[in-house]
Structure 1
Amino acid sequence: MGEVDTGTGQDRTTARSRTGGDQGQVAVEFVGMLPIITATLVLLWQCALLGYTYTLAGDAADRAAHEAAVADLRRESRGEACERAGKESLEGDWRKSARTECWVDSGLVKAEVALKVPVLFPGIVDFPFSVTGNAAAAKEN
């Protein structure tokens, strides 16, 4: 059987079962840690979303620079080609918040695309800052 507590003369397992023992301890500890676990997951998700937005901005800038570089060959306005290509490569709410600029500098067409970073899910709320992607392509004549 159980050990006898010399101070009271009672069996320890009997004393523990009368007071409730450790039942529910894991549940209480989990509930206490739940806010920390949740905050960590939210922070990791937000970091992933920030990185994805940087990737989208860089890809949109690459496409905008390329299309603006060959705009003369297609008899298209460089600004229109830049804006069109920059926004076509984006989806949904990122397209709405995109700001695209292209300019010619020393024989290169340079493009910059700025995107707002969403808070947790695209389309609900954005952070007040933008991330930018930059690219350049040789101007085609």
Structure 2
Amino acid sequence: MKRIRPGQRTRTRAPEPTQAGARAPEPTQPRPRARRRCDRGQVALEYIGFVPILLFVALCAIQLGWVAYVDEQADTAARTAARVEARNGEGGERAGRAAISGGLAEGAAFSWAATADAVSVTVTLEVTSIVPGLSLGPATATAVMPNDAPPKGP
């Protein structure tokens, strides 16, 4: 017969009602517990160990979205600046800066190359890093538009 420790739950057999002077019920095997006491806190420990990895993956996903956003802003600014410069002959940089949303416009660098046939504009925007320790290069976009500006001078 198995020993029962103090405080341990046991199942007992009820005495049969037909027996006169039935003995006290004998304890049977204890119920198996769902978890052992030594496993307490195991899930919390695994969760605490996994949280930094999960946060790093989330930051990398946000960083990837930010890089794509800045690249798209550079492309939009280059197309807008080249289109305005090709049609009007001036005001391309102002239009390009207006096409950039948020605080990215202050750090934008525009470079121009104009010929009689086409206008080429290159825009460079700095990509800030969200993930610690990650250094990213600038986002650069170039757009070329046919030169439709009226000729200057007499």
Bigger strand fraction: 1
Three-state SS of the structure 2 residue aligned to 1:111 is strand
Which structure has more relative contact order (CA 8 Å, sep 6+)? It is 1
TM-score (norm 1): 0.73
Q: After TM superposition, give the deviation of residue 21 of structure 1 in Å.
A: 3.6
Three-state SS of the structure 1 residue aligned to 2:74 is helix
AA of the residue aligned to 1:137: M
Q: After TM superposition, give the deviation of residue 128 of structure 1 in Å.
A: 6.6
Tell me, which stretches of 5 or more residues in structure 2 are unaligned?
3-28
- Correspondence for 1:43 among 44, 47, 60: 60
Alignment check: 8 A CA contact 1:99 1:113 kept: yes
* 2: CA distance, partners of 1:108 / 1:31: 59
Bigger Rg, which one: 2
- Correspondence for 1:130 among 128, 135, 138: 138
> How large is the RMSD of aligned CA atoms in angstroms?
2.4
Alignment check: 8 A CA contact 2:108 2:123 kept: yes
* 2: CA distance, partners of 1:131 / 1:24: 47
Instruction: Note the alpha carbon deviations across 1:29-64, whole angstroms, 9 max, x for none.
Output: 111111111111111111110111110000110000
The structure 1 segments of at least 4 consecutive aligned residues displaced by more than 4 Å after TM superposition are none
| Cα 1:128/1:36, change in 2 over 3 Å | closer
Tell me, which stretches of 5 or more residues in structure 1 are unaligned?
5-9, 73-77, 122-126
Three-state SS of the structure 2 residue aligned to 1:109 is strand
AA of the residue aligned to 2:53: I
* 2: CA distance, partners of 1:32 / 1:128: 28
TM-score (norm 2): 0.67
Alignment check: 8 A CA contact 1:60 1:86 kept: yes
Matched residues, number: 118
| Cα 1:39/1:51, change in 2 over 3 Å | same
Within 5 Å, which residues of 2 pair with 1:1-141?
13=32, 17=36, 20-72=37-89, 78=90, 81-105=91-115, 107-120=117-130, 129-140=137-148, 141=150
Alignment check: 8 A CA contact 2:122 2:141 kept: yes
Q: After TM superposition, give the deviation of residue 91 of structure 1 in Å.
A: 2.1
| Cα 1:44/1:128, change in 2 over 3 Å | closer
Alignment check: 8 A CA contact 1:82 1:100 kept: no
